[in-house]
Amino acid sequence: MKFSSSFSLVILFCIASITGTQATPVESELQETRAVTHPNRLPSRDSDAGLIFCTGPDFQGTCTYNFPLTSGTCYANAEPYISNLWSSDSDFEHVCFLYTSGSCSDCEACVDVNGWSNMGSFAAIHSYRCVVADSSGCSNSNCRHR
pLDDT, one tens digit per residue, over 43-53 is 444 568 899 99
- pLDDT beyond 80 at 26: no
| DSSP one-letter code for 28 | T
What is the pLDDT, as a whole number, of residue 82? 96
Residue 46: what pLDDT?
52
Indicate the pTM of the whole model: 0.69
Give the chain's length.
146
26 near 53, Cβ under 8 Å?
A: yes
Percent over 90 (pLDDT), the chain: 47
> Which amino acid belongs to residue 80?
P
C-alpha 12/C-alpha 37 separation (Å) is: 15
What is the architecture of the domain spanning 48-132? Sandwich (2.60)
127-132 and 94-99 beta bridge pairing:
antiparallel
Give the confidence band of 146 by pLDDT, cuts at 50, 70, 90: low
What confidence score (pLDDT) does residue 78 get? 93
Q: What is the pLDDT of residue 98?
A: 96
Instruction: Residue 44: name the closest of 90, 100, 86 by CA.
Output: 90
Q: How far apart are CA 94 and CA 72, in angstroms?
A: 10
Q: For residue 40, name the pLDDT band (cuts at 50, 70, 90).
A: very low
Tell me the mean pLDDT in the region 116-136.
93
Rounded to whole angstroms, the Cα distance separating 2 from 90 reads 27
Rounded Cα gap, residues 104 and 14, in angstroms: 31
* Domain spans of the chain, in order of start: 48-132
19-36 burial code (b ≥16 CB/10 A, e <16): eebeeeebeeebeebbbb
pLDDT tens column, 56-77? 999 999 999 988 889 999 999 9
